[in-house]
Amino acid sequence: MNAESRTALKRKPLEALEPPPQAQSPTSEQIQSEHEFTTKYGTDVVHRLYFKELMDGATRLLKQGAINWLHDVKKLRTFYMEISTFIPSWSMDYLIVNLDVLSEDRIHAIIASVDGFCVQTDWETLLPMLPSTVRVNSAHAFGELLMHLAIKERLFESPFWYLDGKRRASDPGEDPTFAEKMNYLFERTYEKRHEAALPALADSLLASEPFCWLLKEDLMPDKIETRHAELIDVFRKAVRTMISCETWTNGIPVFRGIEELGGIFRGKSDFITLHLYTYRPRRDLYINQAIIVVARRGLV
């Protein structure tokens, strides 16, 4: 079986809209009949013959899997906002509050790890540049950013993270046949292989540096288990968003950091808004100020 490109797979529903090979142009008699009909009854009424053709086309479309390509950008935005709600909640439960409790070397490593999404300078210089609420919750803000970046890098920028290089689940070895491997990959995209791989994603993030430095210590066993389960749920929602992004927007997300946002906050727009930790009575005072940290990278 030959592997089909992602573009070819996505073309199938569109090709189903094309008329069947046996379709012929209407005769002059049919055209005249249509003219007489619309003159008498108007254009709001559809001939039974044309209605059947319309239904046949819709049926072909659905048989080709078009129902899986229906999409709503607002729904995709809702999926993404759901992740952005779960992550701060998880951070407040399981991360330390302030970076000041860490060593200078570790703080520097955290800042360096989010290059492009945080101004690169030493902590003593960066701290007073941050809004007051961010200063006292700095570990939450940076932990949130690290989680978003993990989702960005491990899912959105690596959509085949679940690929094991086999032709089928029961195959114990690697298959050198590229075409079959690619077919297996596409077939498994929407199966529960994702679900089986989620715990490994959560384990990897919890063990990774510098993220692990932000975790609260001395948690009770049941709390550790809950922490793990809730992080899996965050990744589960991220996978759902990734799949929706791939199938609804051609799988080419754009993530905007400080440079892509222009470096200056010009006011709320479709591409940028203020973090909850930036609260102040007059938030308009942030307008035309430098962007210091992009805590939640946007999905465009």
Please name which of 197, 300, 209 lies closest in space to residue 239, comparing C-alpha atoms.
Answer: 197
**In this predicted model, what pLDDT tens digit does every residue of 138-164 receive, in sequence order?**
999 999 999 988 888 877 777 665 555
Concatenated DSSP letters of 48-100: HHHHHHHHHHHHHHHHTTGGGG---HHHHHHHHHHHHHHHHHHHHHHB-S-GG
Place of tokens 């990959």: 185
Mean pLDDT over each residue of the chain, to the nearest integer:
76
With 90 as the cut, is the pLDDT of residue 39 above it?
no
Average pLDDT over residues 18-36: 65
Cβ proximity of 86 and 202 under 8 Å: no
Q: What is the pTM of this model?
A: 0.62
Average pLDDT over residues 29-57: 66
Cβ proximity of 146 and 288 under 8 Å: no
Tell me the pLDDT band of 110, cut-offs 50, 70 and 90: very high
Q: Which residues contact 244 (CB under 8 A, 6 or more apart)?
A: 71, 75, 76, 79
Q: Which two tokens stand for residue 3?
A: 């592997």
Tell me the pLDDT band of 213, cut-offs 50, 70 and 90: very high
List, in sequence order, every residue forming a beta bridge with 200; answer none if it has no partner: none
Distance CA 195, CA 203 (A): 14
**In this predicted model, what pLDDT tens digit does every residue of 242-296 receive, in sequence order?**
777 766 665 566 778 888 888 898 888 877 888 877 877 777 888 888 888 888 7
Helices (H), ranges, the chain: 6-15, 28-41, 48-63, 73-94, 104-113, 123-126, 132-136, 138-151, 178-188, 193-207, 221-248
More confident residue, 135 or 13: 135
With 60 as the cut, is the pLDDT of residue 179 above it?
no
Q: Which two tokens stand for residue 230?
A: 């809730």
Q: Report the pLDDT value the prediction gives residue 222, as an integer from 0 to 100.
A: 93
Mapped onto helix, strand or coil, the DSSP state of residue 126 is helix
Tell me the pLDDT band of 214, cut-offs 50, 70 and 90: very high
Cα torsion angle, 254, 292, 277, 113, sign: positive
With 60 as the cut, is the pLDDT of residue 195 above it?
yes
**In this predicted model, what pLDDT tens digit does every residue of 48-87 receive, in sequence order?**
566 667 666 666 665 655 555 555 666 767 777 788 888 8
More confident residue, 227 or 179: 227
